[in-house]
Amino acid sequence: MIVFYKFLFPLVLLSSNLIDNDKKELVLELHINNKNITLNNSYENINTNIFKINKLKFYISNLKFYLKDKEVLEYHKKHILIDIENEKSLKILIPNSLRVDEIIFNLGVDTETNKSGAKSGDLDPVNGMYWTWNSGYINFKLEGVYKGFNEFSYHIGGFMKPHNTLQLIKLNLGSKNKIVLNFDEFFNKIDFNLSEILSPGKNAVKLSTLLANSIN
Amino acid sequence: MKKYTTIILTLIVVIALVHLYKIKNLTNLNYPKYFPNIEYDLSKNPIDEDKIELGKILFYDPILSKNNQVSCASCHSSYNAFAHTDHKLSHGINDKIGNRNAPGLFNLLWQKEFMWDGAVNHLDMQALAPINSPIEMGESTRNLISKLQKTNYYPELFYSAFGDSIITTEHLLKSLSQFQLTLISSNSKYDSVIKREAKFSDKEKRGYELFKNNCNSCHTEPMFTNYEYKKNGIKEDSTLKDFGRYNITGNVNDKYLFKVPSLRNLKYSYPYMHDGRFEKLQFVINHYSEIDIDNNLIHLNNKEKVDLTAFLLTLNDKEFSLNKNHKFPLKLIEILYQ
C-alpha cells in the first residue's frame, strides 16, 4: 500500500496530467460575413433584410476526424449540444498529436436516439431541445427578429420519413485549429415571411437542406 | 425401477407443459407465455424494487403539476384499469378540459407508441407530454426537477433507487416507466380459458366466434389490439377538430386515424373512443354495425350483439383493478401529511 501512495499514485497523477496537456482545442466558430456571430447584433442579408439573432442552439452527432480520406478519430461523445451562449460547448478537445484535414458529422440527432427513451447530459429534455408533444429532438433552434420587431423562430427537427431533417456535413479544415460553420448562404436565402417553423414537416426539411448547403 | 423412471418422466413432461402455459418470471414482471415478445428495452432500464416504488410515489404525487393539484392518478385511476371513468375528456389544472379521453394504462411492456395518435414514441417520454401540456399538468421539466430536489424526501428516494441524490429527468422518467411497466393485466376470464382453468359459457363461446370473425383483425388476441392506427368511423368534431394520426405524420392518408385501443378491461374504462363519446359498450357495437368504414360493415343482429358483449366482458380483469400493489402508496401519505 505504502508503495502505491509513495510511488505509483504520483505517477498516476502525473500521467493523467500528461493526458490533459496532450489535448488541443478545436474551436467551433459560427460565422456571418467571416466573423463570429454576435447575439443581438444587426446583420443585413443580400436582400437588404436587417435581422438579429438571439438564440442559436443545435446538435452535432457522430463527429469523425479524417486525414487524407482516412478516419483517424471518432469523437468520444456521440451527441454534442452546441449553444452560442455556452462557450464551453464551442470547444472540442482532440489529442495534440492528431493531424486532421477533414471532419464529417451529422447536424442533428439520429433516428435511433430519437426513439430510445430517456437520456441525460446534452440529450436531457430540460435543455429545451425536445418536443414532448410529438416525440423527437429539435436538431436546430434559431430565434431572432427581422425588419424591426418581427420575430422569427425556427425549431428544425423531425426524423420520420419522409420528413427526416438529419443532415450530413463534410468540412475541410486545412491546417487551422478551428472549425468554421458559415451561415451566410442560409441567411441570404431564407424567407423571413415564413417566420415560424416549429414542427416536423416539409418546411423543416427545406430549412435543414438550406442549412446543410450553407455550412458545407 | 422401470416404474419409477416412467413416473419421473411423466412428472417432468407434466411440469414442462404446465410451465409452457404458466408464468414467465422476469423480476416483478409476470406475464403468461402466450403474450408476445415485449417491446420495452429492459436492458436500458433494469427493473428494480426501489425504482418501481419511487415511480409509484411520483405517479400519485400532485407535485408533478404546476399548482401541485393534479397527479398522473387524477386521470388514471387504478380502480378503473388506470382510465378516467365517467369523464369524456380529461381534466387538467385550473379546471381546464383536454381534447382526448384518458386511456387505461396496462400491458405497456408491449406498446411501442403512445397517445391516441401515437405522438409519443417511448414509454419513458410519455410522462413529459401531460406534465408539460398547459391544459393538463402545466409544469416545465426544469421547474419540476428543481421542486423535487428541494423536498426533504425525494433526493433520498432517488438515491435509494439510482445511487444518486441529484435528480435528473432521465431518472424521473425511468422510475415512472418502471411503475407503469408493472401494470400487467392478464387475469381475465379469457386468460383463464386460454390457460384451461375455466370455460366460456355458450353465450360467450358464440360471442368469441363473432369476435374472431369481425373484430380480431384490429383488436388482435391476446393483447386485443394490433397497435396500428385505423379509422373508427367518427367524423371530425366541430369543436375538437381532431385529425388523429395526421397531426403527427402530416400525411393526408392518416386523417381521422386513431390508435386501436385494447379491449381488455372495458367494464372499467368507459366512456369509449378517443373523445369518450360513447358511454356504453352497446353504443360502440351499434356504431360499428351502422357505419361503413372503407367498405367494412359489421353485420350483427340483436342476439349476436348480446353474444359479442358477453364475450367482451370476459376480458375484464377484476384482480388487476383491485391489485393493492398498484394503489396509492402509504409512503406518499406519510410524505404529504408529515
Give the model confidence (pLDDT) of A20-60 as tens digits.
568 999 999 999 999 999 999 999 999 999 999 999 999 99
Q: Report the 10 Å Cβ neighbour count for B212.
A: 12
Among A93-102, B44-53, B199-208, name the one with the lowest average pLDDT.
A93-102
SS (H, E, C) A60-116: EEEEEEEECCEEEEECCCCEEEEECCCHHHHEEEEECCCCCCEEEEEECCCHHHHCC
DSSP state of A4: I
A132, A137, A163, A202: best to mutate for the B interface, most B CBs within 10 A:
A132
DSSP state of B117: T
Whether B180 and B47 share a structural domain: yes
Whether B112 and B231 share a structural domain: no
Query: Which is it for the CA torsion B247, B253, B258, B261, positive or negative?
Result: negative
Residue A2 has pLDDT above 60, yes or no: no
B40, B121, B162: best to mutate for the A interface, most A CBs within 10 A:
B121
Indicate yes or no: CB of A135 within 8 angstroms of CB of B120: yes
Report yes or no on B269 lying in a domain: yes
Report yes or no on B281 lying in a domain: yes
pLDDT recorded at residue B92: 82
Whether B255 and B212 share a structural domain: yes
Report yes or no on B298 lying in a domain: yes
For residue A185, the Cα-to-chain-centroid distance in whole angstroms is 17
Report yes or no on B287 lying in a domain: yes
Q: Does B169 touch chain A (CB under 8 A)?
A: yes
CB contacts under 8 A, B 88-127 vs A, are 119-125
Q: Which residues contact B91 (CB under 8 A, 6 or more apart)?
A: B70, B74, B75, B97, B98
Spatial distance between the Cα atoms of B164 and B158, rounded to a whole number of angstroms: 6
Q: Does B202 touch chain A (CB under 8 A)?
A: no
Contacts of B41 in chain A (CB under 8 A): 116-117
Whether B158 and B177 share a structural domain: yes
DSSP state of B75: H
Q: Which residue has the higher pLDDT, B250 or B10?
A: B250
Q: Half-sphere exposure of residue B194, counting CA atoms within 13 Å on the CB side? A: 20
Whether B220 and B261 share a structural domain: yes
Spatial distance between the Cα atoms of A64 and A74, rounded to a whole number of angstroms: 4
- Comparing CB atoms, the residue among B132, B142, B250 nearest residue A132 is B132
Query: Which is it for the CA torsion B295, B296, B299, B300, positive or negative?
Result: negative
* Residue B133, domain CATH: 1.10.760.10
**End residue of a domain, out of B184, B212, B245:** B184
Is B193 in contact with B199 (CB distance < 8 Å)?
yes
Whether B233 and B174 share a structural domain: no
Instruction: Say how many domains are in chain B.
Output: 3
In tens, the pLDDT along B204-213 reads 999 999 999 9
pLDDT recorded at residue B25: 42
Residue B7 has pLDDT above 80, yes or no: no
pLDDT recorded at residue B15: 61
Whether B263 and B295 share a structural domain: yes
Whether B273 and B158 share a structural domain: no
pLDDT recorded at residue B295: 73
Whether B176 and B66 share a structural domain: yes
The helix/strand/coil state of B70 is coil
Confidence of residue B94 (pLDDT cuts 50, 70, 90): confident
Contacts of B168 in chain A (CB under 8 A): 120, 124
Report yes or no on B332 lying in a domain: no
Whether B215 and B271 share a structural domain: yes
Contacts of B121 in chain A (CB under 8 A): 114-115, 135-136
Q: What is the pTM (predicted TM-score) of this model? A: 0.87
Range of the domain at B9: 2-32
Residue of B nearest to A115 (CA): B121
DSSP string, B297-320: -----HHHHHHHHHHHGGG--HHH
In tens, the pLDDT along A100-123 reads 999 999 999 999 999 999 999 999
In tens, the pLDDT along A138-186 reads 999 999 999 989 999 999 999 999 999 999 999 998 767 899 999 999 9
pLDDT recorded at residue A1: 47
Is A54 in contact with A40 (CB distance < 8 Å)?
yes
On whether ipTM exceeds 0.90, the answer is no
Residue A9 has pLDDT above 70, yes or no: no
Spatial distance between the Cα atoms of B178 and A95, rounded to a whole number of angstroms: 41
Whether B19 and B86 share a structural domain: no
User: In Å, how far is B251's CA from the nearest CA of chain A?
Assistant: 10
